[in-house]
A and B are shown apart, each in its own frame.
Chain A
Amino acid sequence: QVQLQESGPGLVKPSQTLSLTCTVSGGSISSGSYYWSWIRQPAGKGLEWIGRIYTSGSTNYNPSLKSRVTISVDTSKNQFSLKLSSVTAADTAVYYCARAVGIRWFDPWGQGTLVTVSS
């Protein structure tokens, strides 16, 4: 059974770059027609899709974040990563990684990691 686990700094200074990694276990990140996504949730608020990557390296991003987001994949490590540049307090949220079945549903999800943007 595939499991996902986020990792990375829990505190990032304003204007800096947020970097997170999602490690996939229980299966190969390259198998199947899956897209690997990042989703975030500010405290007490709803879910926002950030972007996705296919194992070929093809990416798609949320138009509202596109100018600041880079998602990459390392198939040798069974990982994919998120970089969000020029962060502000508005980027403080729990960040989840998840597997997407095409343009359909997300399953499974990682447990999430809280990233706080503060000086």
Chain B
Amino acid sequence: QSVLTQPPSVSGAPGQRVTISCTGSSSNIGAGYDVHWYQQLPGTAPKLLIYGNSNRPSGVPDRFSGSKSGTSASLAITGLQAEDEADYYCQSYDSSLSGYYVFGTGTKVTVL
């Protein structure tokens, strides 16, 4: 049961910039919880891409950037490359009920 909403798909030509939105609510992103992003290549486990809204783990290219504002967050990919074709998920924490981790619905990025 995904609590964070993402567009099902985005696409762009090589070298272009694409953005993926992640919309939450006052009990998760809007409550101040950080947003994190994962990249999932076909047939593989998700890999941490952005943590703490805008931080990149070691080894992640600076083409990937994240931001957060209000009840939403965004992931931007600049200089799109063929190897960026993958599924992307946002993730946060929700304080409703007893508290639990929540994921976005996922976005498929296609490189044209």
A binding-site residues for B, Cβ under 8 Å: 37, 46-49, 52, 60-64, 96, 100-101, 103-112
Contact = CB atoms under 8 A, between A and B. Distances in A.
A105 B103 contact: no
A49 B45 contact: no
A111 B45 CA distance: 5
Given A63-B98, A105-B91, 11 more contacts: A46-B2, A46-B89, A48-B103, A60-B99, A60-B100, A103-B33, A104-B51, A105-B51, A106-B91, A106-B101, A108-B48
Interface in B37-85: 38, 44-48, 51-52, 57
Contacts, number: 66
A3 B97 CA distance: 31
Contacts of B45: 96, 109-112
Contacts of B100: 49, 60-63
- The A contact surface, by secondary structure, is strand
Interface residues of B, number: 27
B104 A105 contact: no
Interface in B1-57: 1-2, 33-34, 36, 38, 44-48, 51-52, 57
